[in-house]
Structure formats: C-alpha cells, structure tokens
Chains A and B, each alone.
Chain A
Amino acid sequence: MTLFEAHPLLLVALVKTGILLFLALTAVAYLSWFERKVVGHIQSRLGPYRVGPHGLLQPLADGLKFLFKEGVEPQGADRLVYYLAPFLALSLALSGLAVIPFGPAEVEIFGVRTTLAVAEVELGLLFLFAITALGVYGVALAGWASNSKYALMGGLRSSAQMISYEISLTLSVIGVVLLAGSFNLREIVAAQQGYWFGAVPRWFLIPQLVGFLCYFTSAIAETNRAPFDLPEAETELVAGFHTEYSSFQFAMFFMAEYTAMVITSCLATLLFLGGWESPLPTTGAWAWTVYLPTVVLSGGCVLLLVDALRHHRGWARGVLALLGVLLGGAAWAVAQPAIHPLVQGPFWFLTKVFLLLFVYVWVRGTLPRFRYDKLMAFGWKVLLPVATLNALVTALVVLLRESGSLAGGLR
C-alpha cells in the first residue's frame, strides 16, 4: 500500500487501465458481431442469429469456444517465438489504446480529478506510430515461427505490405501536425475547435481531405483488412500468417486486428474529425444538442422494448427487455445535469469512431480483394506520392500564412 500512497497517480492509472481493458475487449468482441451482422445484411443474409436474440451472445460463445479448444503446436516450430508472436500482437495493440484521450481535459469522478485517458503522453501521436511500427513483428514472427510455407509466405507478404503502407500512413498525417503545430493529441483536437461561417466545424477533414483519404486507405492496409487482406487470402494462403495457430492464440491475433481497427478509427477521429468536439454548435438555438445522448439512448430503449414484444422466443424476449430497460436507465442517467456535461465528449467521440468502424465493415462487404502486385504498386506509386505532395503543399501554405502574418505584424 505504501507504493500507492507515495504515488497516488499509480492507483488511478491502474483503475483506469482496468476499466479501459474491460471496455476495449468487450467492444472488440461485439465489433466482430457487428461486422458479421452488417456483412450478412450486405449479402442478403441474417448473420448470427441463433445464440441469444439476434445472435447477441455469439461473441461470448466464440470466446468460450476459443478458450476450450486444443492448442496445436506445429512440428519444428520455434517455440519461444511461436508463443511470443500472438502475445506481442495483442499487447502492442492494446497498449496503443492507453494514450487515446476519450474526452476533454479534466473531469471529476467520485471526487477524483482525472482525465479521460489512461496516459497523458506529450507526444501521443508519435507514441502511437511507434506502437504501429512494432506491430509488424507480431505478424512477421508468427509467419516465420510456424515452420509452414503458407504461414511464412503470409507473414512475408503482410510484413512487406505493412512496411509499405506504414510510410504513407505516417506521411498522410504530417499535414495535420503542421496545421496544429503539435504532436500532442489534445492540442491537435484543441486546434480544431470553433466553426467556419458559424456552422461548419473547423475540423482538419476539410483542409486535409486528401490527407484523410490517404490515412484511411493506409489504415485499412496497415490493419490487414479487406480489400487489402492479402496476408490472409484464403484462396492462396489458407489463412496467411496465422494458419498454424489455433485456440486462444488465434483469438489473440483476431483481437489484435480488431483492436488495431479501433485504434486507427480513434486516431482518425482525433486527427481529422475534431475528436470529442460536437459537429453542431452548442450555444443559442442549438443548446438542445446536449440532450442528444439521451435521445439516442431512449431511441435504442424503445426499439429494444418493441422488439422484445415481437420476438418469437420467450427467454430472448426477457434478454431484450432487460437490455431495453438498461438503456432506458442509461438515458435517464445521462439526462441528469450532474452527469450530462461528462458524457458530451465521449458521446461524440464514440459516435465518430463507430461511424468509421462502420465504413471499415462496409468497405469489406463491398470491394473485391486487390491482387498482390497491384497492392504494392498502389501503395508505392499512388498513395506515397499523393501523401508526400499533400505534406509539401500543407507545409508551403503554413509557411506562407505564417510569414504573411509575421510581415503584417499580426504575430
């Protein structure tokens, strides 16, 4: 206990880490449910439907299945590296979440003043890129250590792809860094406050549209998602780098991929979509927008209750009704004047992240897979030059604006 008395921040950080881990792993599990549902409906199917109402308990069933399956270790595998790789992939992906701020500066929860981020890192953006840069090892080592030609080819492919797209990923955000003048995620969001012409939010999405498109394309490739999911092209490579992994090690790669999706979406929100800032003005005639979280939650509550009445299975009705009541309670809690300033930031932040995640799934359900050489050519010959040009033009504009304001004595 003396350690916590000497460093009270340590205890707060531990509690926050625990909460974030729980939320993140739950979100990742339900992201897989969400993806299967959306892709299912895109392809005129229902998606998971059997386990729980609307397949809501499917992630739980999948998790249990992974836990109880036998882990098969391939013959001739490098044991240390083989077991290290999934651990590396998941722990790196999860530690990236630690530096993401989910809401504005200081809040007070249960009498403890704290921030809505596990760690306030000065160079948060660089830290995230360092994490992404190390993320390649999980994939490359898994492919190599499995002692299988399919896994090795998959590992080689995906490391080549990740290295290539990492460059355009990093270059595409240089424009944002130049405009904000900081690597700090909070300062980057602060630089996007306010509105053009009183209504258009000053998000970097508008001046950096090219940067955003480059970023999101590279992010899809960096997370090995369709249409850039060459590393796990089933028709060619069985399952790519994780061919030889079963049971929970496979689940770890799976979770790492989904966590990476969440992180890149969070980063896109922070860098281009104004982070936790509301897209609508919050003053004057727009003051009612602070009750939007309540409206959304109540809407969900009503939908679930109606669905509970219509559902054909008895116990599923109970589950749906319970969820509806929970949402209703949340809607009521969020409307309380003591709580509702607290939830504004996270509400908008999570809404934007959710929209981006939907785009991820949408793209997967819509576009066919790239051919490998096309993929590399696209990365090096299109994305990289465009991202570089975007950075150069932004640098020029920032320089001209600064020298102009310097000459005008505005500084």
Chain B
Amino acid sequence: MTLELGLFVVLAAVAIAGAISLILARHPIRSALSLIVVMVALAGLYLLQGADFIAAVQVIVYAGAIMVLFVFVIMLLNAGEEERTSWSRMAHYAGIPLAIYLTVQFAWWVADGASALGLPTAPAESESTRRLAHLLFREFVLPFELTAILILVAILGTVVLGRRES
C-alpha cells in the first residue's frame, strides 16, 4: 500500500465519519464542528490530487470564513440541544426510498467508472495555481465576472434587508 493510498483512505474515513456525526449530533455546535472536520478532510483530499490552491482556498473560505459565521450565529443565539422526535410521515414514505435509490445509483456510477478513476497519483506540478488563474481570467472570464456581480447583488441585498429590520 502506497503512502498516497493510505492517506486517501484515512482522509476519506475522517470525512465520512464527520458527515455521519454531523447528522447524528444533537447539539448545533457539534454539528457545525463535524462539518468543519468534513471540509478540512476534503481539503486534504484535494491536496492529494495536487490541487494545492483549491485545498488552501477550501480551508480559508469554507472552514475559516463560512463555518466561523455559522458557529458565531449558533453561539450568539445560544441554540440549545435539539430534541429527538419520531420520524415524520414524509421521511418515512419519501425519504427512505429516495435515500436507498440515491445510494444504489451512486454505487452504480462509482462501480461503472472505477476503472477510469484510478488511484490518486503523486501531487502534480506547482503550475496548477497558474493554470487555474488562466482558466478563470482568460477562458471563463465572463461567467466569472457574472458570478462576481451576482454575489455583489446578494451582499447589497443583505445590507438593505438588515437596515430595514432596525
């Protein structure tokens, strides 16, 4: 077993464990913490693929910025533990079949493409950041700028809504 495969297995296991804990945890803070674990583990997986930049941004933006706000809001509202209730009828009749269907479908896709996926290779050359910048700012510059404007509109909307409240 190579070092890369070993790391992949460990990181994947951590990510899955984090995801399960995210759903099962009863306290919102615990759930948020589990989500951070998942995101950091995913960043590790990106790193294994040689995508250093994506990995760093994953940690900075998702784990470092977005999740901090989640934790902040949970702390500010001082949200308590959730209570367990019996399953809703919706979950019973629609949720379980859908979950089973999705699991089978994903398993089928993975099994189908397993030969093409291969094992993670050693990290690629450091040019990946430059290549990403080239793609974003040359080839896909229009969608990139449009997304930026969309985000700006969303920010302005939040400010307007926040002002109206007070």
In the complex, what residue of chain B is closest to A135 when comparing beta carbons? B64
Give the docked Cα–Cα distance between A183 and B127 (Å): 12
Contacts A81-B33, A126-B53, A159-B68; is A133 near B75 (CB within 8 Å)? no
A140 CB contacts on chain B under 8 angstroms: 68, 71-72, 75
Interface residues on B, range: 20 to 34
B27 at the A/B interface (Cβ < 8 Å)? yes
B33 CB contacts on chain A under 8 angstroms: 81, 141
A38 at the A/B interface (Cβ < 8 Å)? no
Interface flags, A78-122, vs B, CB<8A=1, else 0? 101100000000000000000000000000000000000000011
| CB atoms of A134 and B56 under 8 A apart | no
User: Of residues 117 to 163 in A, which have CB atoms within 8 Å of B's CB atoms?
Assistant: 121-123, 126-127, 129-130, 132-134, 136-137, 140-141, 143-144, 152, 155-156, 159-160, 163
Contacts A137-B68, A144-B29; is A123 near B75 (CB within 8 Å)? no
Contacts A140-B71, A156-B72; is A133 near B53 (CB within 8 Å)? no
Measured between C-beta atoms, what is the minimum distance from A282 to chain B in Å? Answer: 30
Measured between C-beta atoms, what is the minimum distance from B154 to chain A in Å? Answer: 17
| CB atoms of A134 and B75 under 8 A apart | no
Interface flags, B51-73, vs A, CB<8A=1, else 0? 01100110110011100110110
Measured between C-beta atoms, what is the minimum distance from B68 to chain A in Å? Answer: 5
| CB atoms of A130 and B52 under 8 A apart | no
A310 at the A/B interface (Cβ < 8 Å)? no
B103 at the A/B interface (Cβ < 8 Å)? no
B76 at the A/B interface (Cβ < 8 Å)? yes
Measured between C-beta atoms, what is the minimum distance from A176 to chain B in Å? Answer: 16
From the candidates A78, A129, A136, A156, name the one contacting B56 in the complex (CB within 8 A).
A129
B105 CB contacts on chain A under 8 angstroms: none
From the candidates B64, B75, B78, name the one contacting A130 in the complex (CB within 8 A).
B64
From the candidates A121, A156, A163, name the one contacting B75 in the complex (CB within 8 A).
A156
Contacts A163-B68, A183-B129; is A133 near B63 (CB within 8 Å)? yes
| CB atoms of A133 and B72 under 8 A apart | no
From the candidates B27, B52, B64, name the one contacting A122 in the complex (CB within 8 A).
B52
Measured between C-beta atoms, what is the minimum distance from A108 to chain B in Å? Answer: 25
Contacts A78-B27, A137-B36; is A123 near B129 (CB within 8 Å)? yes
Which of B63, B64, B76 has the most chain A CB within a 10 Å cutoff?
B64
A7 at the A/B interface (Cβ < 8 Å)? yes
Contacts A130-B64, A133-B63; is A144 near B56 (CB within 8 Å)? no
Measured between C-beta atoms, what is the minimum distance from B54 to chain A in Å? Answer: 10
Give the docked Cα–Cα distance between A105 and B129 (Å): 22
| CB atoms of A78 and B75 under 8 A apart | no
B64 CB contacts on chain A under 8 angstroms: 129-130, 132-134, 136, 166
Contacts A78-B27, A78-B29, A140-B75; is A130 near B60 (CB within 8 Å)? yes
| CB atoms of A122 and B68 under 8 A apart | no
User: Of residues 14 to 72 in B, which have CB atoms within 8 Å of A's CB atoms?
Assistant: 27, 29-30, 33, 36, 40, 43, 52-53, 56-57, 59-60, 63-65, 68-69, 71-72
Measured between C-beta atoms, what is the minimum distance from A366 to chain B in Å? Answer: 31
Contacts A7-B3, A144-B75, A183-B129; is A136 near B53 (CB within 8 Å)? no
Contacts A7-B3, A81-B33, A130-B64; is A137 near B56 (CB within 8 Å)? no
User: What are 23 A-B interface contacts by the 8 Å CB criterion?
Assistant: A81-B30, A121-B52, A123-B56, A126-B53, A130-B56, A130-B63, A132-B64, A133-B60, A133-B64, A133-B65, A133-B68, A136-B68, A137-B36, A137-B71, A140-B68, A140-B72, A140-B75, A156-B72, A159-B71, A159-B75, A163-B69, A166-B64, A170-B60
Pick the 10 closest A-B CB pairs, nearest first: A133-B64, A126-B56, A130-B59, A122-B126, A123-B52, A144-B75, A133-B60, A130-B60, A136-B68, A130-B56
